[in-house]
Structure 1
Amino acid sequence: MTTKYILITGATDGIGKVAAKAMAKQGHAVIIHGRNQNKAQKVCEEIKAETGNDKVDNITGDLFSFDEVKRMAEDFKQKYDRLDVLVNNAGAIFSKERELTKEGLEKTMALNVFSPLLLTELLLDVLAKSPSGRIINTSSGTHKIAKKPDFNNLQFENNYSSSRAYASSKLYTIWITRHWSAELKRRGLKNITANVLHPGAVATRFGQDNDKGFINNMVFKLALPFMSTPEKGAATTVYLATSQEVENVTGKFFGNMKEEKAQDKYYSIENEIKIWDYCQKVISPYLNN
């Protein structure tokens, strides 16, 4: 087996942590990302102890801050000259009140869409050094309930709800991943693929800690006993990161370790380009400075 260098965001808890542990167990060099240095280091040591793999490292950064994302990418490139797999796993649903980052961006879009795109752009040069680079983005089955995009309200200044923002962000993640598959070829990066997955409904602490409104809170609590294990939820991430079966597959949507069809009735190439261009405009000040 060829050792892959794998960076996975949001890997100190839940599916990310389980996936990191599984890939470390396979012998890969795994770099886990977290916001808190002490916690990230603790998880790093835990994975080393459980897997016997010393090629486990950690990196920290606040994905709500573009400055932090840029610094995190620079930190990675100071330590590593190659990246084989980037797993944009970090994501969240937020409270019933619309919240902004310090840069004035709606938090759901910032964490679930803008920051993964920025991090990917900043790490493309080291992904390009891999013989088989892989970008793996994380969507959700909730993309199915996303409403028709309002291109004048992509950060939900009007009619905000936590569930609407989350579902929309996960729909846009699918469209952006499709666009990546063509964009990489356009840039001459034919050795890099981009795919997107949904992990299914998984029993983690995801969505349990904030007030999303009475109905959404109740749905999360009642659904918990019926959700699958984090191990099952992480299986598709591990598959897309490490399997030879998807070596040259790009621009596809996966669930349960197989290709699926996303239910995105509002999709069109025109809409895909609008979302891509909007997101690129948001992150562009942090790409060239």
Structure 2
Amino acid sequence: MQTDEKKVAFVTGSTDGIGLFTATKLARDGYKVIIHGRTQEKVDKAMNIIQSQVPEADLDFVVCDLQSIKNTKMMCDLLLSKYQKLDLLLNNAGVFILERQESVDGHEMTLAVNVLAPFIITCKLLPLIRKTLNSRIIEVGSISQPSYMDLDLIEHKTNYDGYRAYDYSKLSVIAFTFELTERYPDLWINTLDPGTVNTKMLILSWGKCGIEVGEADDEYWLATNEDLQKVRGKYFVNKVEEKAEKQAYDLDFRKKLFLKLEEITGIKYPLN
């Protein structure tokens, strides 16, 4: 079991893009960084990249395809068995899919990876996070939020639109972040738009219209900025607190969404 006093960070989707960039910066800061990727090949490549830039990097890894509820839970159980604490959980992983796909569990893929996975991971790893006084949880949202979301259409079974599925997923993440702040007032949890960054996802969905990955430090800023230590339950864009779409603040909508996510995942958040 991990017992050292070094800060420990777990970054999902850290084998490329913003996740890899942020993991590298955290490693340079002296964090023990747990790299997550979908395959061993991706993980190995990412760890080699980080260590080429930060030779002293202290790294660990987990391999998990986050579309699987069972595998996501097993990944968390592995981390619970290895670590005594977690100082930073950054739920960075996400997908954008043009044509509807279903996960191994039969759920729409964008929902599975972008919403169900971070919902499970955050809950399962709460025991590690709450053992550290200044621990942080970051859920990655987006400026791509719809003005209205119909919970009955969360699986996008008809008239699938990849953009709408993605927008729904990001409003869901922001809404459950705000709900967690309500339920756990002592928990440091915030959400952000990571910026318009030329990742593979952005290029696939909107084309090359953003900044380069090497400039995308908003996630790192939110993870490490000491001035934000007392800030909870906020949504940031370009390192400035912004208002999310109105529905994210709707208590009734949030509770219904939370119940639906608990039902789908089989995850039950503790009462306190």
| Structure-2-length-normalised TM-score | 0.91
1:26 equivalent in structure 2: 29
Matching of residues 9-20 of structure 1 within 5 Å: 9-20=12-23
Q: Indicate conservation of the 8 Å contact 1:48/1:54, yes or no.
A: yes
After superposition, the CA RMSD in angstroms is 2.0
1:206 aligns with 2:206: no
Q: CA deviation at 1:3?
A: 4.2
Q: Deviations over 1:71-128 (max 9, x none)?
A: 11122122211101100000011122x2111211111111110111001111111111
Distance 1:266 1:38 in 2: 37
1:283 equivalent in structure 2: 265
Q: CA deviation at 1:266?
A: 6.9
Q: Which moved more, 1:254-263 or 1:78-87?
A: 254-263
Q: CA deviation at 1:53?
A: 2.7
Distance 2:77 2:196 in 1: 34
Q: CA deviation at 1:142?
A: 1.0
Q: Indicate conservation of the 8 Å contact 2:218/2:238, yes or no.
A: yes
Distance 1:68 1:245 in 2: 36
Distance 2:199 2:254 in 1: 31
Q: Indicate conservation of the 8 Å contact 2:123/2:267, yes or no.
A: no
2:160 equivalent in structure 1: 160
Query: Structure 1 stretches (4+) deviating beyond 6 angstroms?
Result: none
1:133 equivalent in structure 2: 135
User: Among residues 88, 102, 116, which one is paired with 1:100 in the alignment?
Assistant: 102
Q: Indicate conservation of the 8 Å contact 1:147/1:164, yes or no.
A: no
Matching of residues 98-247 of structure 1 within 5 Å: 98-143=100-145, 146-185=146-185, 190=186, 192-208=187-203, 220-221=206-207, 224=208, 226-233=209-216, 235-247=217-229
Q: Indicate conservation of the 8 Å contact 1:6/1:30, yes or no.
A: yes
Q: CA deviation at 1:49?
A: 2.6
Q: For structure 2, which runs of at least 5 residues remain unmatched after alignment?
A: none
Matching of residues 32-43 of structure 1 within 5 Å: 32-43=35-46
Distance 2:42 2:269 in 1: 29
Q: Indicate conservation of the 8 Å contact 2:139/2:192, yes or no.
A: yes
Q: For structure 1, which runs of at least 5 residues remain unmatched after alignment?
A: 210-216
2:10 equivalent in structure 1: 7
1:214 equivalent in structure 2: none
Secondary structure of the 1:203 match is coil
| Structure-1-length-normalised TM-score | 0.86
Percentage identity across aligned positions? 31
Q: CA deviation at 1:39?
A: 2.0
